[in-house]
Amino acid sequence: MKGVEYEYDNTLGLLAGMDLSSNKLSGEIPEELTDLHGLIFLNLSNNHLQGKIPVKIGAMTSLESLDLSMNRLSGVIPQGMTNMSFLSSLNLSYNNLSGKIPSGTQIQGFSPLSFIGNPELCGAPLTDGCGEDGKPKGPIPTMMMKRTMDGLI
């Protein structure tokens, strides 16, 4: 059986993308997923995932598109995500993320809509700055929330 396992490991290295959106997945994002360094896109949106975004996600430096929106993820956005220099599409909206959005590469260049629906999140590109406690200084602007909700309907 060791040969079968070896073949499986080699095949995973060829995997370029994974779309597991809207599959009612629950639990935490497996840390082993971050070992797929060759992935170009990963979509885990619209599931029931909870817990923190794996710290090692920043090692997935080939990712160009990452969608973790509409889950129940909590905690801070890992600082390592600033290492993802190829990332051109990011959606972390509608989770329970908190703290300051990490400073670095292009993360601040994404639309605020990539982060909306996380009321405890603050820092650029959101209009709310962070207080000394790392929490937002003010609420998400009503107009931005309305535009987002109108776009979903």
Structural domains in the chain, sorted by start: 2-152 (3.80.10.10)
Q: 38, 61 in Cβ contact below 8 A?
A: no
Query: pTM of the full predicted structure?
Result: 0.80
- pLDDT number for residue 151: 57
d(CA 121, CA 107): 14
Instruction: Compute CA distances 7 → 10, 25, 92, whole Å.
Output: 5, 26, 34
Please indicate whether residue 107 or residue 115 has the higher confidence score (pLDDT): 115
Give pLDDT tens digits for 1-58: 444 454 545 555 668 899 999 999 999 999 999 999 899 999 999 999 999 999 999 9
- pLDDT number for residue 18: 95
Q: From its phi and psi, is residue 123 left (phi > 0), alpha (psi between -120 and 50) or beta?
A: left
Cα 51 to chain centroid, rounded: 12
Residue with tokens 């996600």: 57
Residues 44-72: b if buried by 16+ CB within 10 A, e if exposed: bbbbebeeebbeebbbbebbebbbbbbbe
- pLDDT number for residue 113: 96
Average pLDDT over residues 89-106: 92
Res. 79: pLDDT tops 90? yes
Give pLDDT tens digits for 117-146: 999 999 999 887 887 766 777 555 555 555
Of the candidates 64, 116, 59, the one whose C-alpha atom is nearest the C-alpha of residue 92 is: 116
